[in-house]
Amino acid sequence: MGAAVSRWSQNLVLILLGGATVWISAFTTSYLNYVKAGFQPFLVAAGAIVIVLGVAGLVRPAAHEHAPRVAWLMTLPVFAIVLIAPPALGSFAAERSQRPPEPPQNANYAPLSASGPTIMKIGEFMGRAFGDEPEQLNGKVVKLTGFVTKAKKKDQWHLTRMSIACCAADGYALHAAIVGAPAPKLDSWVEVTGTWVPPKWKRMPNGFVVPELAASEVRAIETPAEPYE
């Protein structure tokens, strides 16, 4: 009986895990909380293979075994993954992330709009602010999207976006320091429109430096389907 429980439970878990992987990656955007969008085909294929392996393990002859009732309890953790999916990385991970790599100094960025706000990623804002020609940001209105985290300096807060190379395990935080507007709720997603605040120092100091943005508008938004940069 013990062998039957083990065989049925193992294969049921395989089928449910494979099914959960296929469902999350093919029919929802939840997988974007864990990996880059380009990994979707591989997740779907991997889930399908796991389902096939589980079905093959159940149908192979084994003395006409019937599914033990206790084996179905093994599926509960899988249902929990589907019904209570962990959210994307937020302020907790941002506060504990490693220092991001230095922004690119000679990136080929598109020209900034002269008539309206330029929508850009926080990583691009950092790259422009600390690049070779930061003066291109002078007086230009930009629009950044991220979630709210705490800042060490008074009278400012951080607009943050996590960046990942392949999956959430390698994520690190990108920040823009927002001034001139009260801080929204921690971890809430907002869209901030404003202008770059040129730093007072002539030479970049040692350590992690965050570019500042003087906010003219802060608008609450829903969590985007693809939360990472």
Give the Cβ contact number of residue 203 at 10 Å.
6
Encode pLDDT of 143-157 as tens digits: 999 999 999 888 999
pTM, rounded to two decimals: 0.71
Query: Measured between alpha carbons, how far is 193 from 142 in angstroms, rounded to an integer?
Result: 6
Helix axes 76-83 and 2-27, enclosed angle (nearest 10): 10
Distance, CA of 201 to chain centre: 33
Average pLDDT over residues 62-82: 54
- Structure confidence at residue 115 (pLDDT): 81
Q: In this structure, are residues 22 and 47 in contact, taking their beta carbons and an 8 Å threshold?
A: yes
If you count them, how many residues does the chain have? 229
Span(s) in the chain for CATH 2.40.50: 94-220
Burial 179-192 (b: 16+ CB within 10 A, else e): eebebbeeeebbbb
Classify domain 94-220 at the CATH topology level: OB fold (Dihydrolipoamide Acetyltransferase, E2P) (2.40.50)
Query: Measured between alpha carbons, how far is 127 from 103 in angstroms, rounded to an integer?
Result: 5
Encode pLDDT of 176-210 as tens digits: 999 999 999 999 999 999 999 998 876 766 667 89
- At which residue do the structure tokens 């469902």 appear? 23
- Measured CA angle at 188 (ends 182, 194), to 5 deg: 50
> 71 — phi, psi (to 5°)?
-65, -30
CA within 13 Å, CB half, 76: 6
| Averaged confidence pLDDT in the chain | 80
- Structure confidence at residue 74 (pLDDT): 52
